[in-house]
Each structure stands twice: as structure tokens, then as C-alpha cells.
């Protein structure tokens, strides 16, 4: 390493940019994802696109 920094310390030093967190509630993500899939499927069938 050039500055003697490890990968972990270099990653921890970066500023957060507002992206998804790694420690967030995974169950809520899955439930909202599947709800979105169901809503899109309902919209597709109601519009007669399938």
C-alpha cells in the first residue's frame, strides 16, 4: 500500500453518498420488492398487455 492504509480503513474513510445501507432491514426490502412485483403484474394484466 502506498500510504499504509488497509482496504478496510480506506473504505471506512469514504463519505456516505445516500445509497442503500448494508445493515438495513432485509425483510422490509423483500416485502416491498414483492409488493412492487405484484402491483406491476396487476397493472400489466389490467391493461391487457399479457
Q: What is the pLDDT of residue 17?
A: 77
Q: Give the 3-state secondary structure of residue 6.
A: coil
Contacts of 41 (CB under 8 A, 6+ apart): none
pLDDT at 37 over 60: yes
Q: What is the pLDDT of residue 26?
A: 87
Residue 30 grid cell: 423483500
- Across residues 6-11, what is the average pLDDT? 59
Residue 45 grid cell: 394484466
* DSSP-based helix, strand, coil % in the chain, nearest 5: 55, 0, 45
For residue 16, give the DSSP letter: P
Q: Give the 3-state secondary structure of residue 41.
A: helix
Amino acid at each position: 500500500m502506498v500510504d499504509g492504509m488497509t482496504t478496510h480503513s480506506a473504505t471506512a474513510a469514504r463519505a456516505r453518498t445516500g445509497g442503500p445501507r448494508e445493515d438495513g432491514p432485509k425483510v422490509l426490502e423483500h416485502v416491498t420488492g414483492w409488493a412492487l412485483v405484484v402491483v406491476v403484474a396487476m397493472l400489466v394484466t389490467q391493461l391487457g398487455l399479457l
